[in-house]
Amino acid sequence: MVLNIGVIGAGLIGRDHIRRVTDDLPGARVSAVADVDLDRAKSVAAGLPAAKPLPTGLDVIADDDVDAVLVTSWGPTHEEYVLAAIAEGKQVFCEKPLATTREACERIIDAEVAAGKRLVMVGYMRRYDPAYRALKAAVTAGEIGAPLMFHSVHRNPAVPPHYSSNMIINDTCAHDVDITRFLLESEVAAVRVLTPARRNRRDPEHLTEAMLVLEMANGVLVDVEASINIAYGYDIRGEIVGETGTVSLGEATPTVLRRDGGYRGQVPANWQDRFRSAYDAEFRAWIAAASRGESTGPSTWDGYATTVVCETGLAAWRTGDRVEASLRDKPGLYGDPVTPASHE
């Protein structure tokens, strides 16, 4: 069976996922594309073997030639499309964030619980990255004793012009929040946000550097350093400190050159380069599950928990206070009532 995917949002990551489905992965093809920029949808569809452009995202979801839906439009539009896909009974892959507010995520939880089965996977692809998986495997194997602290570093060379100051927390750090929950198998209990008094002279109008301190429900302490204007490359780091050792992500450089008494490697240029194999793996998993009529990977609950933590982070940033993150009771559909799912 070939899974027919309808795409909503043919921007940067939408086109990257379309290329992935069309050229790199078996088992699926793109059958419809919509974008608020209809010309963009038409030109993207024209370059594909079996896709038609449709006027709106809702047309994509309702279309008989669409088995499953890929939402890659802007964050504030995700709720409408995810709810419509659930109402249609179609599997949906939604790029992060699941939705931009706690309330919107809760409406999606309610709809999915009422449908009685998981239909939504959220694009927190780091869970599929080989380096993060190896980090988690080392902890699970007891290599460093019980984890006590986690340092997470997320550096972007630059961000698009529409990036507002809030986005360093709810768009960039969202990944660190999700991967922290995955690695440490615990929810975030409280958040503090610190920012340097010295502003980055390359963009003094915006918040481009921030440090989040996350207190996990299981007592582990986490710091997240985010820099979204670092210029030198896309640099993702992580180190877990345990009772008897530490384990960190390896360098992402493909080669290390030693000459003239020195050595040199490469820093990935952007998220597409750094996480290519993670995006491929998450899509392989989604295509396989959706073809069986099932969902997998980061769930609506994971999307909800991360959005709540990011909202809490924004409140902590505005007030300068430590703010507690409170989640609603977890429905049985999403597994263990306390611990985030640990498999994917």
| Near ligand ISE by CB under 6 A: residue from 127, 175, 181, 206 | 175
Site for ligand NAD in 35-94 (CB under 6 A): 35-37, 40, 57, 72-75, 77
Residue 95 as a binder of ligand NAD (CB under 6 A): the answer is yes
Question: CA-to-CA distance for 134 and 142, rounded, in angstroms?
Answer: 13
Beta bridge partners of 101: none
| Near ligand ISE by CB under 6 A: residue from 4, 72, 152, 156 | 156
List the alpha helices (DSSP H) in 75-158: 78-88, 102-115, 130-140
Residue of 18, 5, 112, 145 whose CA lies nearest to 63? 5
Minimum CB separation of residue 99 from ligand NAD in Å reads 10
Q: 74 contacts which partner out of ligand NAD, ligand ISE, none, CB within 5 to 8 A by kind?
A: ligand NAD
Residue 271 as a binder of ligand ISE (CB under 6 A): the answer is yes
Residue of 163, 226, 216, 187 whose CA lies nearest to 307? 187
Residue of 192, 220, 169, 180 whose CA lies nearest to 302? 180
Nearer to ligand NAD, 150 or 283 (CB): 283
Tokens of 27: 């088992």
Site for ligand NAD in 108-147 (CB under 6 A): 123, 125
Question: CA-to-CA distance for 301 and 5, rounded, in angstroms?
Answer: 23
Residue 167 as a binder of ligand NAD (CB under 6 A): the answer is no
> Residue 159, exposed/middle/buried by CB under 10 A (0-12, 13-18, 19+)?
middle
Minimum CB separation of residue 270 from ligand ISE in Å reads 8
* Residue whose Cβ sits closest to ligand NAD: 11
List the alpha helices (DSSP H) in the chain: 12-19, 38-46, 57-62, 78-88, 102-115, 130-140, 167, 173-184, 271-274, 276-291, 300-319
Site for ligand ISE in 223-252 (CB under 6 A): none
Nearer to ligand ISE, 96 or 330 (CB): 96
Q: 159 contacts which partner out of ligand NAD, ligand ISE, none, CB within 5 to 8 A by kind?
A: ligand ISE
| Near ligand ISE by CB under 6 A: residue from 67, 129, 171, 178 | 171
Q: Which residues bind ligand ISE (CB under 6 A)?
A: 156, 159, 171-172, 175, 271
